[in-house]
Amino acid sequence: MITINNLTKKFGRKRVLNNVSLEIPSGKIVAIAGPNGSGKTTLIKSILGLVKFHTGTVLINDVNISEDISYRNLIGYMPQIAKYPENLTVNEIISLIYKIRRPSVNSSLTDLIAKFNIGGYLDFQLKNLSGGTRQKVSAILSFMVDSQILILDEPTTGLDPVSSAKLKELIREYKLLGKTVIIISHIMSEVSEIADEIIYILDGDILIHKNIEVFIKENNSSNLEAAINFAVSNN
Amino acid sequence: MIKNIITYQLKDLLRSKWILFYGAFFYLITEILLQFSGNESKSVIGILNMCLILVPVISIIYGSIYVYNSREFIELMLTQPIKRFSLYVGLYFGLAIPMALMFVLGVGIPLVIFNPSMFFLYFYLLISGTLITFSYIGIAFLISFLLDDKAKGIGACFLFWMLTAIFYDGLIMFLIWKFEEYPLEVPIIISAILNPIDSARVMVMLKLDIAALLGYTGAVFEKFFGTAMGLVISISSLLFYIITSFYLGLKVFLRKDF
Nearest to A50 among B73, B78, B255 (CB): B78
In this predicted structure, what is the pLDDT of residue B207? 77
Per-residue pLDDT reduced to its tens digit, A182-207: 999 888 988 999 999 999 999 999 99
Disruptive mutation site among B19, B71, B76 for chain A (greatest number of A CBs within 10 Å):
B76
d(CA A101, CA A86): 21
Asked whether the beta carbons of residue A88 and residue B257 sit closer than 8 angstroms, the reply is: no
Q: How many domains does chain B have?
A: 1
In this predicted structure, what is the pLDDT of residue A157? 86
Q: Which domain holds residue B179?
A: 2-255
Nearest to A79 among B16, B76, B81 (CB): B76
CA distance B109 to chain A (A): 26
Asked whether the beta carbons of residue A97 and residue B80 sit closer than 8 angstroms, the reply is: yes
Q: Alpha helix locations (H) across chain B? A: 2-13, 17-36, 40-69, 71-78, 84-114, 119-146, 150-162, 168-178, 185-194, 196-208, 211-255
In this predicted structure, what is the pLDDT of residue B233? 86
Closest CA to A159 of A137, A129, A183, A136: A136
Cβ-Cβ contacts under 8 Å, B257 against chain A: 11, 45, 50-52
d(CA A54, CA A18): 10
Instruction: Give pTM, 2 decimals.
Output: 0.89
In this predicted structure, what is the pLDDT of residue B48? 87
CB of A139 closer than 8 Å to CB of A157: no
Question: Is B19 strand, coil or helix?
Answer: helix
Nearest to A50 among B13, B255, B257 (CB): B257
Cβ-Cβ contacts under 8 Å, A141 against chain B: 76
Nearest to B79 among A72, A81, A92 (CB): A72
Residues of chain A with pLDDT under 50: none
Per-residue b or e along A157-183, where b marks 16 or more CB atoms closer than 10 Å to that residue's CB: bbbeeebbebbbebbeebbeeebbbbb
d(CA B119, CA B113): 10
Instruction: Report the chain A residue with the minimal C-alpha distance to residue B91.
Output: A85
Disruptive mutation site among A42, A68, A73, A83 for chain B (greatest number of B CBs within 10 Å):
A83
Nearest to B72 among A52, A83, A88 (CB): A83
In this predicted structure, what is the pLDDT of residue B211? 55
In this predicted structure, what is the pLDDT of residue A201? 94
Q: Which residues of A make CB contacts under 8 Å with B?
A: 11, 45, 48-52, 69-70, 72-73, 75, 77, 79, 81-88, 92, 96-97, 99-101, 125, 141, 151
CB of B137 closer than 8 Å to CB of B92: yes
Nearest to B82 among A77, A81, A100 (CB): A100
Cβ-Cβ contacts under 8 Å, B9 against chain A: 85
Instruction: Report the chain A residue with the minimal C-alpha distance to residue B1.
Output: A100
d(CA A34, CA B182): 67
Question: Is A210 strand, coil or helix?
Answer: strand
DSSP A209: E
In this predicted structure, what is the pLDDT of residue B121? 75
**CB-based contact, B213 to chain A, within 8 Å:** no
In this predicted structure, what is the pLDDT of residue B253? 97
Cβ-Cβ contacts under 8 Å, A104 against chain B: none
Distances (CA, A) of B85 to A222, B4, B56, B253: 51, 14, 25, 8
CA distance A232 to chain B (A): 29
Instruction: Report the chain A residue with the minimal C-alpha distance to residue B19.
Output: A87
Rg (C-alpha) for chain A, rounded Å, is 18
Residues of chain B with pLDDT under 70: 209-217
d(CA B116, CA B113): 6
Cβ-Cβ contacts under 8 Å, A101 against chain B: 80-81
Asked whether the beta carbons of residue A101 and residue B80 sit closer than 8 angstroms, the reply is: yes
In this predicted structure, what is the pLDDT of residue B116? 82
Nearest to B81 among A50, A70, A125 (CB): A70
